Amino acid sequence: MNDTNFKSNLATGGHLQFVTPPGHILATAKEIALALSINLGSVDFLLGEDDKYYLCEANSMPGLSYVKASGNNGIKNPLEDIVNNIKKQLLATSI
């Protein structure tokens, strides 16, 4: 977030704000990722002042600098969840 314009990310002095998007936005993100064959990446939306979500970009190789920043802010590392879920799936299928 940046008070002067929408061009803000961690590299330019922005900060993280995690939100739980509505179900239709999650479904849209999944459809976009599927259409673009993105298995690990991000589909980014901006939340406008009008409380509407706008597609910003989809990345198949996103910058992962949020991992470092999330740890500094006491936020759980989302990549740990991904790795743990993969481990659980592998263990479940190997039994």
Query: Does this model's pTM top 0.75?
Result: no
**Half-sphere exposure (CA, 13 Å, Cβ side) for 91?**
6
Ordered by start, the domain boundaries in the chain are 10-94
Say how far apart CA 88 and CA 91 lie, in whole Å.
5
What is the residue type of 60? S
Q: Please check whether residue 47 is in contact with residue 53, taking contact to mean a CB–CB distance below 8 angstroms.
A: yes
* pLDDT tens digits, 12-66: 666 667 778 899 999 999 999 999 988 888 898 888 889 899 998 898 866 655 5
9 burial level (CB within 10 Å; 0-12, 13-18, 19+)? middle
Instruction: Give the count of beta carbons closer than 10 Å to the beta carbon of residue 57.
Output: 10
